[in-house]
Structure 1
Amino acid sequence: MASAAFADFHAPPPGSLPADLEALLRLWQRQHPPLLHLLAELGCTVIDRDYQPALLDPEGYLSRSDLADPAVRAHHAAIEGVSAYISFVIENDEGEVIGYWHGPEQRSLHEAPIVKLDAEGRFELLPGRHLIEALLGDLGRGDPAALGELARLFAGLGIVAPARGRGEPVWPDAATHPASLQQRLYEAALDPRRH
């Protein structure tokens, strides 16, 4: 399944990427041992040209009979359609993928909300304005101490989640929600005559 994944991030002009993403990718490309260790501890990996997450390749994990089911095909066609508007960056150990939701509006990386495609094939916008902030919030749900420790570990590597103060994380604003688009694409794939 094609997406805007990591390929768009190779050799970008300086300052064209959000600071946390730029720092993460710089260390990843160098295979920086402390970053690799931290990501392994978190059960995360960076999606790059050489790695395709299983969730984005249904033919890799579904049987022929699954793929013959019209509802399953429609579900995966909808995932593929929505994923075309996402730059995926991180995969966690549950097979979920996290990235930037550009949406049909084609928001830039600096403006795009962070989105997660979960192992059930559902899209969810994550709170936070930056990739690392959203990732940390997702990993540290319900445990502020763990969230603070993770933020400290990333900051020690030069990957800083911008401080948001003591309040709740900022919930993203998206003109088109990925879950709504997924539902429309699913319905269109299931019954193309109605759309």
Structure 2
Amino acid sequence: MIITNLGTGGATLIKSHEGITLKFYGDPYGYPTVGWGHLITKTKTYTKNTSGNPNTSLLTQAEANALSSSLNLGYTSPISQSKANTFFTEDTAKAVTAVNKLKLNFSQSQFDALVSPTFNGGPGVLETNDVKAMLAYKQIYPTFSGPLSANEIDTCSKLVSKAFSYDRKLQRRRIEEATLFCKGRQYTHKYPVYTL
């Protein structure tokens, strides 16, 4: 069965790592962002968020109003909770579409685990050599029939670890994604990301 929608586990993981603020703030590159990591534009930059806490890089109300006006956004800072929810749904839909384009039979946990880094880093994450190697290994899927040998279980664990070793600054998030990917499988995430 092909999973096509983000599950509760994936949404919870993404939201817990993105954090939410209803006020405009600069992301790690200084790009204005709002809600759960909703990028407003890459045409302007502000204070870079180096702490992981959006409140350390909030735009002033004057900056937010000027940005909103210059881009004809139709909204300014702070946004409503409803608008944040809409942005989250729209933004995760893009990541869900990218994972669905793989046309592979994932478990819900595997699907959610792949949507998270795709949401965070864009669809190019799915094109990395390590992710491609993991996806090419048929034993990784819930549709694989037959028992896994000890060597195959170890190979699955290694492939998952390498595939989720993307963006070292987000190591805790990547570990949680890899753990979610392994949920309910015979293999586990015994190799921490970035160790292979």
Q: TM-score, normalised by structure 1?
A: 0.29
Higher relative contact order (CA 8 A, sep 6+): 1
Computing the radius of gyration over CA atoms, which structure comes out larger, 1 or 2?
Answer: 2
Structure with bigger helix share is: 2
Q: TM-score, normalised by structure 2?
A: 0.29
